[in-house]
Chains A and B, each alone.
Chain A
Amino acid sequence: MTREEVYERLNQVVREVLDDEDIELHDETVADDVEGWDSFEHINIIVAVEEEFGFKFPMGKTIKMKNVGEMVDLILESGK
């Protein structure tokens, strides 16, 4: 899976959870940049991403994620 493929699927997941078709995520994107990505929706995004990519985020790494890029790193790592 390439980084681009991850982004394609990740964009789709986050768009669905936040019900906003215009969302485009990048490595530097943080929750505050995206309307509706609050702490309540964060858990739903985590769960939806886990389902989409078929793995579970370890808690220790989840709490340290600083931006979308790091989430993508974790997703790519899980696929190894």
Chain B
Amino acid sequence: MKELEYPFDAEAILKKKKSLKRELLEAGEGRFIEKKIAILGGQTTQNIKLMLELFLLNQGIKPSFYETEFNQYYEAGAFPNPELEAFAPDVVYVCTCIRNITAFPSLADGEETVSQMRNAVIDRFAGMWQYIAEHYHCTIIQNNFEYPYFRLMGNKEATDIHGRVNFVTTVNSAFAEYARTHENFYICDVNYISASYGLEKWADPFYWHMYKYAVAVPAIPYLSFNVANIIKSVYGKNKKVLNLDLDNTLWGGIVGDDGAENIEIGQETSMAQAYSEFQEYLRLHKQLGVLLTINSKNEEENALSGLARPDSVLKKDDFVCIKANWEPKSMNLQATAQELNLLPESFVFVDDNPAERAIIEGQLPGVAIPEIERVEHYVNVLDKSGFFETTSVSKDDLKRTEMYQENAKRNQLMASFADYDEYLRSLEMKAEIQAFAPMYLSRIAQLTNKSNQFNLTTKRYSQAEIEEAAVDPERITLYGKLGDRFGDNGVVSVVIGRIDGERKDELHIELWLMSCRVLKRNMEFAMMDVFAEKALERGIRKIFGYYYPTAKNAMVKEFYGHQGFSKVKEDDDGNAIWEFDLDENYQNKQTVIAVNEGPSEA
């Protein structure tokens, strides 16, 4: 919804929150994932909650809330709390503020005392986080502290150990250290968000003294937007692809008219510098695993001549797909999505032309379309939108562009074979298929939240739940890594089976997913072979597979049929149960992948 996308009108959102909520609920009906969010407040949190609800609904997440009384965050979070236990939160958001720091150093305090005071704050919070992690096994989001709104000593506050500015800085740094060393724990960087908004307005004491809001009410949408971005990122709703226009987006001018030598890029003029800075900002996204693609109305030759300029920051090889032609951009975007095996809703379409943006908006709902206007502000709009809010960085992310380029080479190779099996054998594929191993848990959790198309049950798992599954004796877990002569695809498939509570020779497949980047490589059969082997070892005689249809997973409707299961039940909505009788005569289904033959990394 446009109203909730950056740059938004915060006051309008606050004013219209009720009608916006109604519209969001109607528009998204039946397509929400539901999450339980506990807000532990060190200030009034009512509006923070209502704004968070809107931004989450806009991301397809329908939240239910538990909210503490004013300033009861510590009592609610650090001690036994039957109410919170019954609520069983997926996310605990600790919404504290600088006013929750009750003791600051005075100038008379010695270094030792100051250090003790700092540790007292840190230990109090860390104790609460540990309690929450142990008892609720959920994601934790913690505000760090905004700067104080007054500076007794002026600039010296930043450097003197007695200064409140210095005190907040060191406490924030300890919070960050905790986040670095603990899984499922994220900092909401209030310190940055308040600076970006303007601390003087953010910390307006009017709102504290009147209503116990430490955040000025008009600033609350910015806070909640950031919290919502962290949550949607945890649940795999980040964008994956930047789909970029060229003329007046990546460089100034029209390359087809002006010629590559006359477009604005490089360091010669202010405009050229601004476009170069924007290109550099885009290039940085590659390390997050974001794919860069081009969608331009141009002759391809002209498009490439612009990128071939020596002072162009982005080069042809930085892009995994280049569409420079005269087709409608909506068709180009769709074709790009198909080639990458991704959905259009994973795309951010960046184009300076409002008419092109309107076409995409009308044709391809779900594509993010930031309203960029002036090149000097392009970075700001993209950056604050939070499309790529990062909650975990896996090794895969760093080399995703390479992986897609390897795929292009595979496709070329495929064209040279008449027989598909022959092509598959020529890839020299090697798979590692094993029970969940510690080093892959974060990637496995990430996959369960990101995979939509090749996903039989679309069950989402937090990392904590994946950790539990890994050690649960009643479950059989598998991850699959696939590599070939062109490169390593990393972990691409996950299966979790649960042994029946009563009939110990029956197994229920609660999750089966695969990344679309390895479609049609027979990896799903390799997974089945190992799964069957592990199940036999556990004395399993019957396997039940489940297919729950969503808007996106039609491609696996008949998956279990292809695996040799028979359908035993299907309801009107298409929810189906399949079964497979297992015995020692199980025949391996695939012969083109060498499974578990190489040295294991685990």
**Interface set of A (CB-CB < 8 Å, partner B):** 13, 16-19, 39-40, 43-44, 46-48, 51, 56, 59, 62-63
Contacts and interface: CB of A to CB of B under 8 A. Distances in A.
Contacts of A46: 210
B206 A59 contact: yes
B210 A59 contact: yes
Interface in B198-244: 206-207, 209-211, 213, 217-218
Contacts of A62: 210
B46 interface: yes
A51 B11 contact: yes
A16 B15 CA distance: 6
A48 B54 CA distance: 18
Contacts of B206: 56, 59
Contacts of B210: 43, 46, 59, 62-63
A18 B210 CA distance: 20
Given A18-B18, A19-B19, A40-B46, A48 B207 contact: no
Contacts of B217: 43-44, 47
6 contacts: A17-B15, A19-B22, A43-B213, A48-B14, A51-B15, A59-B210
Given A48-B11, A51-B11, A59-B206, A43 B211 contact: yes
Nearest to B46: A40
Contact of A13 (B15, B22, B207, B218): B15
Q: Interface residue tally of chain B, by bracket?
A: 10 to 19
B392 interface: no
B16 A47 contact: no
A48 B13 CA distance: 10
B47 interface: yes
B14 A44 contact: yes
Contacts of B16: 16
Closest 5 CB pairs of A and B: A19-B18, A51-B11, A48-B15, A40-B46, A47-B217
Interface string B1-30: 000000000010011111100100000000
Q: Which of B18, B19, B209 has the most CB of A within 10 A?
A: B18
A51 B218 CA distance: 9
Nearest to B21: A19
Nearest to A59: B206
Contacts of A19: 18-19, 22
B46 A47 contact: no
Given A43-B47, A44-B15, 17 more contacts: A16-B15, A16-B19, A17-B18, A18-B18, A19-B22, A40-B46, A40-B47, A43-B211, A44-B17, A44-B47, A44-B217, A47-B14, A47-B218, A48-B15, A51-B15, A56-B206, A59-B210
Nearest to A13: B15
For the residues of B in contact with A, the DSSP-based class is helix
A57 B480 CA distance: 62
Nearest to B217: A47
A62 B207 CA distance: 12
A25 to B, nearest CB: 16
A40 B597 CA distance: 64
A51 B10 CA distance: 11
Interface of B: 11, 14-19, 22, 46-47, 206-207, 209-211, 213, 217-218
Nearest to A57: B206
A60 to B, nearest CB: 11
Contacts of A48: 11, 14-15
A44 B19 CA distance: 14
Contacts of B14: 44, 47-48
A68 to B, nearest CB: 18
Contact of B11 (A43, A47, A56): A47
A54 to B, nearest CB: 11
Nearest to B11: A51
Contacts of A47: 11, 14, 217-218
Contacts of B15: 13, 16-17, 44, 48, 51
Contacts of A59: 206, 209-210
A44 B18 CA distance: 12
A16 B47 CA distance: 16
A59 B206 CA distance: 7
Contacts of B209: 59
Nearest to A39: B211
Q: Could you say which of A19, A39, A43, A56 has the most chain B C-beta atoms within 10 Å of its C-beta?
A: A43
A79 to B, nearest CB: 19
B205 to A, nearest CB: 9
A16 B22 CA distance: 13
A13 B46 CA distance: 20
Nearest to B211: A43
Contacts of B218: 47, 51
B52 to A, nearest CB: 15
A65 B182 CA distance: 49
Contacts of A44: 14-15, 17, 47, 217
B18 A43 contact: no
Contacts of B19: 16, 19
Nearest to A47: B217
A47 B201 CA distance: 13
A43 B16 CA distance: 14
Nearest to B204: A56
A11 to B, nearest CB: 14
A17 to B, nearest CB: 6
A61 B18 CA distance: 28
A13 B16 CA distance: 10
Contacts of A56: 206
A62 B210 CA distance: 9
B111 to A, nearest CB: 39
The interface centre, meaning the residue of B15, B16, B18 with most chain A CB atoms within 10 A of its CB, is B15
A71 B154 CA distance: 38
